[in-house]
Amino acid sequence: MIKTQVVVIGSGPGGYTAAFRAADLGKQVTLIERYDALGGVCLNVGCIPSKALLHTAQIINEAAEASHLGVSFNTPNVDIDSVRGNKQNIVTKLTSGIKALAKARKVNVITGYAKFISNNQIAVDGSDEIIEFEHCIIAAGSRVNKAPAFPFDDPRVMDSTDALEMQNIPKRLLVIGGGIIGLEMATVYDALGSEITVVELSDQLIASADKDIVNPLFRRIKKQYANIFLNTKVSSMTAQDNGIKVGFEGKNAPEFDTFDKVLVAVGRTPNGKLIDGEKAGIEINDWGFIPVDKQMKTNVQNIYAIGDIVGQPMLAHKAVHEAKVAAEVICGHKSGFDALTIPSVAYTDPEIAWTGKTEKQLKAEGTDYEKGVFPWAASGRSLSIGRSEGVSKALFDKKTHRILGMGICGTNAGELIAEPTLAIEMGCDMSDIALTIHAHPTLSETTAFAVEMAEGTITDLLPPKKR
Ligand code: NAD
């Protein structure tokens, strides 16, 4: 029996942050992780390895397009073992860093699968220990959705974890799901030489962003990829000797086609039903999410939950923020989760990022808004890096001129989204942003220009007529 003040289940960005914050605030903490490596999906088989591979893709793409600048490179020689090795080195550096930070904080790390026995005890499979706790923070995350009809036992049918392993570069790759994971992995495999087909059930790629913000990406990859089928369903999938035969139902798709590999990226499911939470009396909804209040408390007063397991969006930076709240509340602080917005980023090429309300949300809510849209073709900085397809859209309350949301598509959109996110949290209005001097020439100017388009003060373009 191990007695601990705080036990944390899961060592992803949410779990390790909660454990470290509680330890820093003086608690004696036990962190349970089923795998040997700490860091969860994000560090091991998600955000970090995918970004390492996307950087490789970016270099290949930039070299291929450099001939426009008067510089030509030979066709690159891709050594897939080294590509995989570089990715793994980055992952190992980060996960061992987390391990060292846990040790430095005297956080007791236990390897094994945690399940509740009661509202103050946890059993750990793979270890004989029973953990008795005063407080618990559940950060057990989510897993990929696997349609039972798809032959996942065939290694040619991959989920995101398999795709990140980069066993080989298939000649023809089908990506099922035009969400963030599907399109990021398509970016990687396209750059490494696969012929890509994307099939998406809805009428838009990255459906939670506004269509006009996704359009520059759509236009670019429509030219690069073999096919993008929207409004299309995969009706069957059969493993054959010559490949995976896939049946489609959709207006523009063929009835059948055969691919060397298939990546299924159709969302993630929370792990709420896999930890025997009912033995502790924890409420878990039909989807497997655990409802929590603003202090990240479940219905059981000494048990908290954070990250993917408590709801959408399933993003590491949301989990980290929630983790600090839970740890601080346990330590007697008056913390609460009251962020006005959680930014989203798709690290595609070009990147897509959005924060606050989207235009479609504002329309659905009936909010009286106005917008400024700045095409990056009028940005000197954008033109000088040879990528002018971007667009920035700023959304404002029509009466108060307060910023409500922002969407950006273009190089480094994921970095640029920090400014409008801060602006939303600070309650900025148009003039706060437009009168902030942005360095010239930078891509960050495009944010100010989008605001000036709404204000009618733009000089780098003709101001749009006031509606
Ligand atoms: P998603 O929900 O973002 O996208 C899945 C897509 O698949 C949707 O567009 C959906 O319409 C489509 N779809 C569902 N069933 C289908 C079918 N049978 N045939 C064709 N299309 C189908 O999910 P994801 O891309 O798998 O990502 C999962 C989670 O991980 C998300 O919450 C995402 O935010 C998160 N994530 C974030 C990042 C990032 O922040 N950059 C990166 C990767 C993943």
Find the CATH number of the domain harbouring 433.
3.30.390.30
Please state the pTM of the whole predicted model. Answer: 0.96
Are 44 and 119 in the same domain? yes
Stated as kind and residue range, the H or E segment containing 7 is: strand 2-9
**In a domain? residue 339:** no
Q: Does residue 320 sit in helix, strand or coil?
A: helix
233 CA closest ligand 1 atom index: 19
Residue 463 in domain: no
Whether 464 is in a domain gets the answer no
Atom of ligand 1 nearest to the CA of 347: 41
403 & 442 share domain: yes
Q: What is the mean pLDDT of residues 450-455?
A: 97
Q: Do 321 and 359 fall within a single domain?
A: no
Q: Say yes or no: CB of residue 233 within 6 Å of ligand 1.
A: yes
Atom 8 of ligand 1, nearest CA residue: 179
Same-domain pairing of 134 and 279: yes
pLDDT digits (tens, 9 = 90+) for 307-341: 999 999 999 999 999 999 999 999 999 999 999 99
- 183 C-alpha to center of ligand 1: Å? 9
Looking at the domain assignment, is residue 149 inside a domain?
A: no
- Which residues, at least 6 apart from 138, have a Cβ–Cβ distance to it below 8 Å? 9, 10, 275, 277, 282, 290, 298, 303, 304, 305, 306, 309
- Residue-averaged pLDDT of the chain: 97
Q: Are 421 and 324 contained in the same domain?
A: no
Token look-up 């009618």 returns: 456
Residues 131, 132, 134, 135, CA torsion sign: positive
432/363 same-domain check: yes
Amino acid 467: pLDDT: 47
Check pocket membership of 315 for ligand 1, CB cut-off 6 A: yes
Q: If we measure between CA atoms, which residue out of 434, 61, 369, 50 comes closest to residue 210?
A: 369
Asked if pLDDT for residue 465 goes beyond 80, the answer is no
Res 455 pLDDT > 70: yes
Mean pLDDT value of segment 90-105: 98
Same domain, 105 and 6: yes
Asked if the structure places residue 449 within a domain, the reply is yes
Q: Is 249 in the pocket of ligand 1 (CB under 6 A)?
A: no
**Does the structure show a pLDDT above 90 at 352?**
yes
> Which pLDDT score is estimated for 466?
55
* Nearest atom in ligand 1 to 414's CA: 41
Looking at the structure, do residues 252 and 279 belong to the same domain, yes or no?
no
Give the start-end residues of each E strand in 10-46.
29-33
User: pLDDT over 70 for what percent of the chain?
Assistant: 100
- Assess whether 274 and 138 both reside in one domain: yes
178 close to ligand 1 (CB < 6 Angstrom) = yes
The residue range of the domain holding 187 is: 157-266
Q: What is the pLDDT of residues 132-173, one digit of tens each?
A: 999 999 999 999 999 888 999 999 999 999 999 999 999 999
Is the per-residue pLDDT at 126 higher than 90?
A: no
Count of the separate structural domains present in the chain:
3
Do residues 395 and 433 both lie within one domain? yes
Same domain, 22 and 97: yes
Q: Is the pLDDT of residue 197 over 90?
A: yes
Q: Is residue 337 part of a domain?
A: no
Q: Which of 54, 40, 51 is nearest to 349 (CA)?
A: 54
Do residues 373 and 305 share a domain?
A: no
| Band (104; pLDDT cuts 50, 70, 90) | very high
Rounded to the nearest angstrom, the distance between the alpha carbon of 144 and the centre of ligand 1 is 9
440 is catalytic: yes
User: At residue 127, does pLDDT exceed 90?
Assistant: no
What is the reported pLDDT for 245? 98
